[in-house]
């Protein structure tokens, strides 16, 4: 499968079906919503998969992108993809590790934007969203991608739901740090 990032460039994706890339329609919607917030931002991509979201953030001017994934193969692919898109004034880091444990090790980095896209049936949503707070700048925005039927509370620790969007079977829950 090939994924096209803004312009004509494509990124590498894993051959197996264990990684479900964010659909292009959803990616486009997210970056339309975030258009004024990405340039110069610190972006965190949790369960990075192919790295499409981080690559898109780099293309749109994020200053720093950090990706976390438990799969060594995914991390290698993300590294290769982000190298193609990062400009000399941008930095990126790919970390292989379990999301909650890795988040605890990231301090004292602070992020403006977080994209979190675990396997839809995962039990990671509540633990990760709760663990994020110390890593977020004031008014940081966290976007969780999930199945449209999955319920999410309006408040998750210091995060307050500020928007919900649905694109087919995919739902996006937007949380802002109080």
Q: Which residues form the domain of 7?
A: 3-177
Q: How many CB atoms lie within 10 A of CB 20?
A: 15
Query: Is the peptide bond prior to 108 cis by the omega test (within 30 degrees of 0)?
Result: yes
Contact 67, 37 (CB under 8 A): no
Contact 171, 147 (CB under 8 A): yes
Phi then psi dihedrals of residue 162, to 5 deg: -120, -10
d(CA 40, CA 10): 23
- Could you give the number of structural domains in the chain? 1
Q: Dihedral of CA 47/166/129/141: which sign?
A: positive
CA angle (62, 81, 130) in 5-degree steps: 55
pLDDT at 19: 67
If you average pLDDT over each of 40-44, 80-84, 149-153, 165-169, which comes out highest?
40-44
Question: pLDDT, tens digit, for every residue of 76-94?
Answer: 999 999 999 999 999 999 9
Contact 79, 48 (CB under 8 A): no
pTM (2 decimals)?
0.92
What's the CATH code of the domain at 131? 3.40.50.150
Question: pLDDT, tens digit, for every residue of 18-44?
Answer: 666 777 889 999 999 999 999 999 999
């Amino acid at each position: 499968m090939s994924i096209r990032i803004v312009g004509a460039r494509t990124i590498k994706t894993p051959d197996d079906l264990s990684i479900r890339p964010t659909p292009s329609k959803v990616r486009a919607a997210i970056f339309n919503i975030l258009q004024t917030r990405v340039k110069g931002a610190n972006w965190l991509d949790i369960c990075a998969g192919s790295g499409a979201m981080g690559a898109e953030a780099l293309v749109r001017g994020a200053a720093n992108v950090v990706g976390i994934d438990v799969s060594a193969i995914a991390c290698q692919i993300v590294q290769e993809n982000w190298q193609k898109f990062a400009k000399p004034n941008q930095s990126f880091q790919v970390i292989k590790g379990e999301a909650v444990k890795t988040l605890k090790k990231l301090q004292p980095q602070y992020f403006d934007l977080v994209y979190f896209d675990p396997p839809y049936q995962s039990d990671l949503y509540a633990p990760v969203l709760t663990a994020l707070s110390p890593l977020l700048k004031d008014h940081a925005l966290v976007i969780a991608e999930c199945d449209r039927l999955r319920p999410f509370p309006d408040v998750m620790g210091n995060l307050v739901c500020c928007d919900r969007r649905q694109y087919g079977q995919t739902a996006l829950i937007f949380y802002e740090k109080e």
